[in-house]
Structure 1
Amino acid sequence: MRGARIFSPAAPDATALLMDDGVISWLGADADAPAADKTMDLDGALVTPAFVDAHVHVTDTGVTMQGLDLAATRSRADVLDRLARHAAGQAPDAVVLGHGWDESRWPDPTPPRPAELDRAAAGRRVYLSRADVHSCVVSTALLAAANPATPGHDPGGWLTRDAHHEVRAVALGSLGPTQRRDAQRHALKQAARAGVAAVHECGGPEISSEDDFTGLLALAGPDSAGTERLPEVYGYWGELGAAKKARDLGALGAAGDLFADGALGSRTAHLREPYTDEPDRCGHGYVTANQVAAHLVECTENELQGGFHAIGDAALATVVAGFALAAGKVGLDRLRARRHRVEHVEMVDKRLIGGLVEFGVIASVQPVFDWRWGGTDRMYATRLGVDRALAANPFGSMAGVGVTLAFGSDSPVTPVDPWSAVYAAVFHRNPTQRLSVRQAFAAHTRGGWRAVHRDAEGVLAPGAPATLAAWDWNGDLLRGLPVFSDDPDAPTHDKPRCRLTVLRGTPIHWTST
Structure 2
Amino acid sequence: MKRLYSFLLLFISALFMVRCTTNKEVDLIVYNAKVYTVDSVFSQKEAFAIKGGIFVDMGTSEEIQNKYVAKEVIDAGGKAIYPGFYDAHAHFLMLADMLEQVNLNGTKSYDEVIKKLIVYQQENPDKRWIIGRGWDQNLWEDKSFPTKDSLDKYFPETSIFLSRVDYHTALVNSKALHIAQLDTTRPVPGGLMAVDSLGNLTGILIDNAMELVSRHIPVSEEHHLLLGLRKAQDSLFSVGLTSIVEAGLSLEELEHLKKFYQQDSLKIRNYAMIGGNARDIERYIREGIYESERLTIRSVKLMADGALGSRGAFLFEPYSDDSLTQGFLLQSPKELDDIIRKIIKTPFQISTHAIGDSANRLVLDIYGKYLKNGEKKRWRIEHAQVVSPSDFSKFAQFRIIPSVQPTHATSDMYWAESRLGAERVKGAYAYKTLLEQYGKLALGSDFPVEHFNPLYGFHAAVTRVDKNGFPAGGFQMENAITREEALRGMTIWAAFSCFQEKKRGSIERGKDADFIILDEDIMTAPDNQLRDIKTLRTVIAGETVFLRQ
> For 1:184-203, what aligned pairs fall within 5 Å after superposition?
184-203=229-248
Deviation at 1:465? 1.8
Deviation sequence 1:47-98 (CA, Å, 0-9, x none): 1001111111212112223331111100011111111111222243431111
Amino acid of the structure 2 residue aligned with 1:470: I
C-alpha separation between the residues in 2 aligned to 1:42 and 1:66?
Answer: 37
1:210 aligns with 2:251: yes
**What is the CA distance between 1:150 and its match in structure 2?**
4.2
Alignment counterpart, residue 407 of structure 1, candidates 440, 443, 461 = 443
Q: Identify which of 70, 85, 89 aligns with 2:104.
A: 70
The whole-number CA distance in structure 1 between the counterparts of 2:231 and 2:215 is 22
In the TM superposition, residue 213 of structure 1 has moved relative to its aligned partner by: 2.7
What RMSD, in angstroms, separates the aligned Cα atoms of the two structures? 2.2
Paired residue secondary structure (1:383):
helix
Alignment of 1:493 onto 2:531:
yes
Tell me which residue corresponds to 1:504.
Answer: 541
Distance 1:23 1:160, change over 3 A: same
1:299 pairs with one of 337, 340, 343:
343
- Within the alignment, does 1:180 sit opposite 2:225 as a pair? yes
Q: Tell me the CA shift for residue 112 of structure 1.
A: 4.0
1:358-411 deviation line (CA, Å, top 9, x unaligned): 22222211110001112xxx1212211233234301110111122431111111
SS in 1 for 2:70: coil
Selected match of 1:441 from 474, 480, 487: 487
Give yes or no for contact 1:270–1:284 (8 Å, CA) kept in 2: yes
For structure 2, list consecutive stretches of 5 or more residues without a partner in the other structure.
Answer: 1-29, 195-200, 291-295, 465-474
Is 1:349 paired with 2:396?
no
1:234 and 2:271 aligned: yes
Q: Which amino acid aligns with 1:400?
A: E
Q: State the secondary structure of the residue aligned to 1:301.
A: coil
How far apart are 1:301 and its partner, in Å?
1.1
Letter of the structure 1 residue corresponding to residue 526 of structure 2:
F
Please identify, of 308-317 and 404-413, the stretch whose mean Cα deviation from structure 2 is larger: 404-413
CA change 1:190–1:337 in 2 (3 A) is same
Specify the alignment match of 1:452 in structure 2.
Answer: 498
Question: For structure 1, which segment, 309-318 or 141-150, has the greater mean C-alpha deviation from structure 2 after superposition?
Answer: 141-150
How far apart, in 2, do the equivalents of 1:201 and 1:468 lie? 20
Instruction: State how far apart, in whole Å, the 2-side matches of 1:176 and 1:109 are.
Output: 37
Q: Could you tell me which of 97, 100, 105 is aligned with 2:139? A: 105
**Alignment partner, residue 18 of structure 2:** none
Over residues 127-162 of structure 1, what are the superposed CA-to-partner deviations in whole Å (9 max), with x where a residue is unaligned?
110011000101211123164314211211111132
Q: 2:432 aligns with which of 388, 391, 396?
A: 396
- Assess if the C-alpha contact under 8 Å between 2:146 and 2:171 holds in 1: yes
Higher strand share: 2
Kindly tell me the number of residue pairs found equivalent between the two proteins. 484
Kept after mapping to 1: 8 A contact 2:378/2:399: yes
Report whether the alignment pairs 1:464 with 2:511: yes
After superposition, where does 1:341-380 map in structure 2 within 5 Å?
A: 341-374=380-413, 378-380=414-416
2:58 matches 1:27: yes
In the other structure, the counterpart of 2:171 is 137
Report if the CA contact (8 A) 2:512-2:541 is conserved: yes
TM-score, length basis structure 2: 0.83
Aligned pair in 2 of structure 1 residues 492, 387: CA closer, same or farther (>3 Å)?
farther
Amino acid at match of 1:49: P
Cα distance in 2 for partners of 1:460, 1:269 equals 39
- Shift in Å, 1:3: 2.2
TM-score by length of 1: 0.89
Q: Please list the CA deviations of residues 422-455 of structure 1 after superposition, one character each: whole Å capped at 9, or x if unmatched.
A: 1111123211101001001111111221111012
Residues 1:416 and 2:448 aligned together? no
CA distance in 2, matches of 1:120, 1:58: 32
Shift of 1:13: 4.8
- Change over 3 Å in CA distance of 1:83–1:354 after alignment to 2: same
Say whether the 8 Å CA contact 2:90–2:444 is kept in structure 1: yes
Residues 146 and 358 of structure 1: is their aligned pair in 2 closer, same or farther, counting only changes over 3 Å? farther
Contact 1:261 1:310 in 2 (8 A): yes
Code of the residue aligned with 2:345 in structure 1: it is E
Pairing 1:484–2:526 present? yes
Unaligned runs of 5+ in 1: none
8 Å Cα contact 1:118-1:125 kept in structure 2: no
Q: Which amino acid aligns with 2:386?
A: M
How far the C-alpha of 1:164 sits from its partner, in A, is: 1.0
Match for residue 366 of structure 2? 322
Residues 255 and 225 of structure 1: is their aligned pair in 2 closer, same or farther, counting only changes over 3 Å?
closer
Task: Give the deviation of 1:125 after TM superposition.
Answer: 1.1
Matched residue, 2:8:
none
SS class of match (1:39)? strand
> Equivalent residue for 2:193?
153
Q: State the shift of 1:240 in Å.
A: 5.4
- Report if aligned partners of 1:27, 1:461 keep a CA contact under 8 Å in 2: yes
SS at match of 1:438: helix
Question: 1:217 deviation in Å?
Answer: 3.6
Larger radius of gyration: 2
Task: Give 1:16's match in structure 2, choosing from 23, 39, 47.
Answer: 47
Separation of aligned partners in 1, 2:378 and 2:118 = 47
Equivalent of residue 162 in structure 1, options 190, 205, 208: 208
Equivalent position SS for 2:329: coil
* Contact 2:459-2:531 within 8 A present in 1 as well: no
CA distance in 2, matches of 1:51, 1:234: 14
Secondary structure of the structure 1 residue equivalent to 2:518: strand
Structure 2 residue matching 1:283: 3-state secondary structure: coil
TM-superposed CA distance for 1:252, in Å, is: 3.1
| 1:115 pairs with one of 149, 155, 167 | 149
> 1:18 is paired with a residue of what secondary structure?
strand
- Structure 2 residue aligned with 1:45: 79
- Structure 1 equivalent of residue 470 of structure 2: none
- Is the CA contact 1:409–1:416 (under 8 Å) kept in the aligned structure 2? yes
Distance 1:353 1:391, change over 3 A: closer
- Secondary structure of the residue aligned to 2:315 is coil
Cα separation, 2, equivalents of 1:340 and 1:156: 39
Is the contact made by 1:293 and 1:325 (CA closer than 8 Å) also made in structure 2?
Answer: no
Call closer, same or farther: CA 1:37–1:176 in 2, change over 3 Å.
Answer: closer
Structure 1 residue 349: Cα displacement: 3.0
- 1: CA distance, partners of 2:136 / 2:284: 33
Q: CA deviation at 1:233?
A: 1.3
